[in-house]
Amino acid sequence: MRDFDLPVDIPKKSELMQQQRLWVILLTVLGFFAFILFLLSIQLGVVLSEGARQLPDIRILENYHPNQSTQLFDRDNNLIANIHGDEDRVVVPLAQISPNIQRAVMAIEDNRFYQHNGVDIKGTVRALATNFTGGDVQGGSTITQQLVKNLFLSPERSYGRKIAEAVLALRVERHYKKDKIMEMYLNQVYWGNHAYGIEKAARRYFRVPASELSVAQASLLAGLLKAPEGLSPYVYAKAARQRQLAVIAKMVEHGYITQAQAREARLEKWNLKGQEDKASKYPFFVAHVIQELMSRYGEDVVRRGGLKVYTTLNPVAQEAAEMALIKRVNELPKSSHVSNGALAAIDVNSAEIVALVGGVDFAKSQYNNATQARRAAGSQFKPFVYLTGLRLGLITPESPITDRPIHFSTGSGTWSPKNWDGRYMGAMTVRRALVLSRNTTTVQVGMKVGIDEVIKTARLAGITSPIEPNFASLLGASGIPPLEMATAFATFAREGVRMFPTAIRRVENVAGEALTIEKPIPEQVLNPDSVAQLNSILVDAVEVGTGKAARLPNRPVAGKTGTTDKVRDIWFTGYTPDLVATVWMGNEKYVPLRGVFSSDAVKVWHDFAAAYYEANGKPPTDFRGVTNTRTSGHGVTLVDLNPAEPPHEGAVELRPANPVMPSTLTPSLPAPTQSVTPSTTNGLSVNGASSAGKKAQSGGVAPPPIKSAGAKATPQPSMVSEPATPTPEPKKRLLQRLLPDKKDSSKVEVKPAAKPSASGVPPVPDPG
């Protein structure tokens, strides 16, 4: 029996029922919310599943190549330029990336890279805790997550993007090894200063490959990943330095470097490369190559396809060409109006472009005068006129011809070509006429052979620019780019073998596979004997004629000067048996030049050629059938020439405009008028009635336009002497040397001409 009562309230029945109802309500509410959560989880699963299916297939990385710059190399396989689009990148394997940069990146971006499976939960929690407590703000994305974000996702900040980033990172980790992920990451990310990928960054900031980055350099670059432009060492050096020190501290903390290495890295100077990254050391040559590549492969492949292009550029020749041209142009007074120039040089045997200068200042003008400018060729075109007569058998170098006044009816007036000095030298040989660059004799030969045949000769030699079939074209009124002119004169140097030039030796795609390119094909297009005759004349043009400033010690040089109407352009194309180069000088506004002559262009050629041969040490060789006293002790005797400079040489008066010149000569038609009766009856002269000449001089009605001879026209005995008896040439043709496996490739059905001679030309004043 209890001695006291228990202080316990016994609930009533109504109270128990009320408690039961509350529990039922509570459980019902909880069940409802649980059901809602269940439905939401199902919906979320469906959404995530659908979203996962819409995510990119990471297996495309197996064949993925990031946008890469196209690299250009010279003939010695040294890098000379990079061509890129929006992303300037060069991809390298991990084995060619310094461990220093790999460790620096892991230290500051993802120290547990080799421990996690793509998403570092522990690292994310630690980053959140650090950010919450006010420490240095840290990101929770791993290197793998950053890679997939760069490759597949937009930069937006959202939970959806973060979830997609994590899913893709897990997938990438399942399919690729860690080293491959690190390699892709380092080659993909942006490092500032227009550099994509670690190789480009290392070279742009420090002028070293990625394989040679030091701890100090690596720590600076790794620090840039947080804000490539905001931490630029060029603009924000103090901030970049603080970030670098933070990276070095992390490398010590995680055991990547010792304290001693850290001290050394802190003391090492940056020695940054200049921020401006020059597009190319040889911009005009590179621009020409880019144009060729884009025409073959398209702009997208060239700028983003990572091609390796091995060019024909000879750095010694290129630098000699640039120095020779720029030096001479800059030395001329401003009053000369010479503000620009161009030089194109071709290796004769291979047809490779060894040097190309399109102007004196690429920064001021990117217009490539060497390949794009069609400037009147002037007297440089005369060799094509004379070669036409030689190949048709109508003249030889020793044929007589008369330098005299001549007049031609144009239908609307009379055209009277004049010589540069206003004088007429009377009877002479064809050789002397071309060596002295006489205009009237050139026109006479052109009228004899026919303008169509002259144009055909130019086309066979390699001229592709338009040539108007009129009188003035005989004296070089048509525009021809320097590279094209060099191409044609290279055909002369090869004894009539044409090879269109190239600037590219080999092209490889990003996989290292060689792409198909067109190689120069040797083709015998002109009679080698006729070309040898022309070469003998053009050697004399250098030895004792207008191009004497181009002479090289113990080496034969052939060439032709050129000056155009009002001296708006001055030219010289010179060639040896192994090198041809064309020089043009003038200005973009076609303003007449003052106080300069074609000899100024000759001097540019000489400076270039002398430096070229001094550097490569090539032994001299002779043109076939051409000799002279300076190189072999035979032929022309040289005499000091009058140094006085005349006004100009070979200028062409183009007014009034000439109508189209007929291409066939009808003997019954009246001949062109003339003001002076020729003193010789066997010279190569177009004779006409003296009364017609008087009428033309007095302003009377001129005869109808003359028609010129075609290839099949019968030559008039009074206009040309018969060719000398041909002498067979037993030497092996050049084409056989260029194509040793094609024994019949040099067979050309042509009438052999007389054996050339290099003698008989007296010294003359230099007409510039």
Q: Which residues are catalytic?
A: 109, 379
User: CB of 535 within 8 A of CB of 390?
Assistant: no
CA trace torsion 196, 180, 98, 166 (10° rounding): 60
Residues 6+ apart with CB under 8 A from 535: 492, 493, 495, 558, 623, 624, 625, 626, 756
- b (16+ CB within 10 A) / e for 90-115: bbbebeebbebbbbbbbbbbbbebee
Query: Quick check: helix, strand or coil at residue 494?
Result: coil
The closest alpha carbon to 663, from 713, 720, 716, belongs to 713
User: CB of 618 within 8 A of CB of 552?
Assistant: no
DSSP 120: -
Q: Tell me how many helices (H) and strands (E) the chain has.
A: 22, 18
- b (16+ CB within 10 A) / e for 153-183: beeeeeeeeeebbbbbbbbbbeebeeeebbb
Question: How far is Cα 232 from Cα 659, in angstroms, rounded to an integer?
Answer: 66
Backbone angles phi, psi at 457, to 5 degrees: -60, -45
3-state SS of the chain: helix, strand, coil percent to 5?
40, 10, 50
Question: How far is Cα 148 from Cα 389, in angstroms, rounded to an integer?
Answer: 72
The closest alpha carbon to 371, from 475, 320, 316, 295, belongs to 295
Neighbours of 150 (CB within 10 A): 15
User: Is the bond preceding residue 656 a cis peptide, omega within 30 degrees?
Assistant: yes
